[in-house]
């Protein structure tokens, strides 16, 4: 999968983009884990990373070797981003309560 491109585009870039998007949309730090190495015909791209609640990558692992990342994070940053975006403040759970009702029954 290293450098894997299809007619759709670069899969690694899409994976990283969606992980960073989750961080931003939910105003939380995200630790995105991806293995490295080869299994059968698959080559994994590695590059696990930690990003803050604004999607900024704070630390990134190697493309081709196993390693553990240690990264200090500032959790107060999450509230500042949450307040700035207003996603949580503007939620309307009353409009989708019926949709999730069965989940909680």
Asked whether the beta carbons of 50 and 58 are under 8 A apart, the reply is yes
Per domain, the residue ranges of the chain are: 5-65+73-104
pLDDT digits (tens, 9 = 90+) for 35-71: 998 889 888 889 999 999 999 999 999 999 999 999 9
**Least confident range of 25-29, 31-35, 91-95, 100-104:** 100-104
pLDDT at site 23: 95
Which tops the pLDDT comparison, 90 or 77?
77
The predicted model scores a pTM of 0.78
């Amino acid at each position: 999968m290293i450098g894997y491109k299809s007619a759709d585009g670069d899969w690694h870039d899409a994976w990283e983009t969606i992980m960073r998007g989750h961080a931003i949309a939910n105003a939380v730090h995200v630790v995105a884990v991806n293995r490295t190495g080869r299994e059968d015909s698959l080559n994994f791209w590695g590059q696990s990373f930690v990003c803050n609640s604004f999607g900024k990558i704070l630390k990134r692992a190697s493309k081709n070797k196993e390693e553990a990342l240690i990264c200090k994070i500032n959790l107060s940053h999450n509230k500042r981003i949450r307040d700035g975006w207003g996603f949580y403040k503007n939620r309307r759970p009353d409009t989708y309560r019926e949709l999730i009702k069965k989940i909680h029954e």
